[in-house]
């Protein structure tokens, strides 16, 4: 009997577009994909921050793309001009937390405009390029554990991430015949500069560590291995599904 060989986690020869790459999870994803051999196009709204990220990326062939995913027309044009991309990591996101009874319509529209509308049409733009080129690909959206549960003061954010999970399944069904895989990566609370204030509160941190069954908050390195897996041939039969990186939060 032939002994099977483990599929490669390497991404050599692949082009990856990482939206929201200027900081936090997006930056970590860009670093991880570049480390696995991909040529990374780092996209975000702030060109100065992108240049700093480019200087950190290992390997060669990387570039920066100023991009606001909430501007669907500009996003379509940019992806059509720069693509096709073999891998998409959509880490651009927005959160405006408040009690559901106090939700402001402007905040609702802003969150949905980035997390749902922007993510949807960015995935569409990358898929169109792959289909036109006759190439397979991996489209990954950074969702959240909150796309599978509810959370206090997070009704709008939860709604946006539940919507992401829904369109991911539908896109996976439609584009599977083209060899395009569509998945989400769903983190728990990850330590980044934006979350340090939350973790600095002893009561809040104790509550989080109680909810996370492994007893600790997430680190950026917890995301990096997961995103390389989803992007690589090691996940060749994985589509239409989330990868939970939540330390067991949603196991209840």
The pairing of strands 180-187 and 87-90 is unpaired
Tokens of 147: 């796309």
Q: Are 44 and 67 in contact (CB under 8 A)?
A: yes
Edge-first strand listing for the sheet containing 180-187: 63-66, 39-44, 15-19, 87-90, 137-142, 180-187, 242-245
Whether 157 is catalytic is: yes
Q: Cα–Cα distance between 77 and 75 in angstroms, integer?
A: 5
Q: Cα–Cα distance between 47 and 86 in angstroms, integer?
A: 23
Q: Are 85 and 15 in contact (CB under 8 A)?
A: yes
Q: Which of 85, 157, 175, 189 is catalytic?
A: 157
Q: Cα–Cα distance between 185 and 93 in angstroms, integer?
A: 13
Q: How far is CA 8 from the centre of its chain?
A: 21
Nearest to 30 by CA among 119, 95, 91, 78: 91
Catalytic site positions = 157
């Amino acid at each position: 009997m032939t002994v099977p060989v483990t599929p490669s986690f390497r991404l050599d020869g692949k082009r990856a577009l990482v939206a929201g790459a200027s900081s936090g999870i997006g930056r970590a994803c860009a670093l991880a994909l570049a480390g696995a051999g991909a040529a990374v196009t780092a996209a975000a709204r702030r060109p100065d921050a992108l240049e700093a990220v480019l200087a950190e990326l290992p390997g060669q062939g990387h570039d920066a793309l100023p991009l606001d995913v909430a501007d669907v027309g500009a996003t379509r044009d940019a992806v059509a001009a720069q693509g096709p991309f073999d891998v998409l990591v959509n880490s651009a996101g927005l959160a405006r937390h408040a009690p559901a009874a106090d939700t402001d319509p402007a905040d609702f529209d802003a969150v949905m405009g980035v997390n749902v509308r922007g993510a949807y049409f960015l995935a569409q733009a990358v898929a169109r390029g792959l289909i036109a080129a006759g190439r397979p690909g991996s489209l990954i959206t950074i969702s959240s554990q909150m796309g599978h549960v509810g959370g206090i003061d997070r009704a709008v954010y939860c709604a946006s991430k539940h919507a992401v999970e829904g369109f991911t399944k539908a896109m996976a069904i439609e584009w599977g015949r083209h060899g395009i895989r569509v998945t989400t990566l769903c983190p728990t609370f990850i330590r980044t500069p934006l979350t340090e204030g939350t973790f600095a509160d002893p009561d809040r941190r104790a509550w989080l560590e109680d909810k996370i069954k492994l007893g600790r908050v997430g680190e950026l390195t917890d995301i990096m291995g997961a995103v390389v897996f989803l992007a690589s041939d090691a996940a060749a039969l994985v589509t239409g599904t989330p990868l939970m990186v939540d330390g067991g939060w949603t196991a209840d």
